[in-house]
Amino acid sequence: MLKILFCLFPPPLSPSEISLNFRDPPTKITVIPESVVKPEWRLPEVKYRFITRSELDDLPNSHSCDIIGLVTFVGRTERTKKKGHGEDFWTSRWVHVIDGTSHQPLIMELFATSQPDVFERIHPSIYLL
């Protein structure tokens, strides 16, 4: 069961948790285009620019975006020496993510950050944002 945390606005309402049912009845999520959102709804500013796999081929190479999907493959951790940094290395792994909009996965090279525990917990069958 997938759980999503959402917050109703305006404050002081507290966050609530909802569960999406995969079986009976099936969950239906509707994405409302930003152009339809009315000012009187007083929604918070959108922090993410989500795209789907089916939209990816139409975007320029330098486009920055956010994705969400189910991890289907995680490659082994690789180390690559940083140029001009002595004995310093980049740590990365390849990850395949599906979002249900295409038969092709999103294939990403993820680099380790200052949170190695998060990087190491990426595995198939989790949702990646």
pLDDT for the residue numbered 25: 65
Q: Give tens-digit pLDDT for 46-103.
A: 777 888 888 888 888 888 888 888 899 999 999 888 887 677 888 899 999 998 888 8
pLDDT number for residue 105: 92
pLDDT at 21 over 50: yes
In a domain, 64, yes or no: yes
Q: Tell me if 10 is assigned to some domain.
A: no
Would the pLDDT of 32 be above 80? no
**What's at 47, amino acid-wise?**
K
Residue 18 domain flag = no
Q: Is residue 8 part of a domain?
A: no
How far is the CA of 50 from the CAs of 26, 79, 87, in angstroms?
23, 29, 37
Range of the domain at 113: 37-128
31 inside domain? no
Count how many domains the chain has.
1
52 falls within a domain: yes
Asked, for residue 28, whether it belongs to a domain, the answer is no
Closest CA to 99 of 66, 121, 123, 122: 66
State both tokens at 42. 């007083």
Q: Is residue 27 part of a domain?
A: no
Percent helix, strand and coil across the chain, each rounded to 5? Answer: 10, 30, 55
Question: Which pLDDT belongs to residue 113?
Answer: 77
